[in-house]
């Protein structure tokens, strides 16, 4: 195995923006939340959504990668 391994990580191949959006919504539904005094619906888990695009023009392969990260809430529970 090469590189970093993240247990529970899922990877999907999609062919449309709607399919990608459905995966974002699925991930959002699986996040853990807990209310705090500052935010009644604060996320307790990180979410990373990586988009990889590949396009071939003639004999040239173009690759792009976009990482979207939503880090868990940083407010303290005892505030």
Please indicate, yes or no, if residue 3 is contained in any of the structural domains. no
What pTM was estimated for this model as a whole? 0.61
Is 35 among the domain residues? yes
How many independent structural domains does the chain possess? 1
Closest alpha carbon to 27 in 3, 51, 5:
51
Instruction: Tell me if residue 21 falls in helix, strand or coil.
Output: helix
**Does some domain include residue 63?**
yes
- Helices (DSSP H) in the chain: which residue ranges? 17-29
Q: For 12-33, write each residue's pLDDT tens digit.
A: 999 999 999 999 888 878 777 6
Range of the domain at 44: 17-70
For 30, which DSSP code?
T
In a domain, 11, yes or no: no
User: Does residue 77 fall inside a structural domain?
Assistant: no
Tokens 């699986």, residue located? 30
The stretch 25-52 carries a mean pLDDT of 74
Alpha carbon 5 to its chain's center: 16
* Token pair recorded at residue 78: 């005892």
23 domain residue, yes or no: yes
The arithmetic mean of pLDDT across residues 48-76, rounded, is: 86
């Amino acid at each position: 195995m090469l590189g970093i391994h993240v247990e529970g990580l899922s990877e999907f191949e999609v062919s449309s923006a709607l399919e990608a959006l459905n995966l974002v919504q699925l991930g959002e539904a699986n996040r853990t939340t807990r209310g705090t005094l500052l935010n009644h619906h604060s996320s307790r888990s990180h979410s990373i959504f990586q988009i990889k695009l590949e396009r071939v023009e003639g004999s040239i392969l173009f690759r792009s990668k976009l990482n979207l990260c939503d880090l868990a809430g940083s407010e303290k529970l005892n505030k």
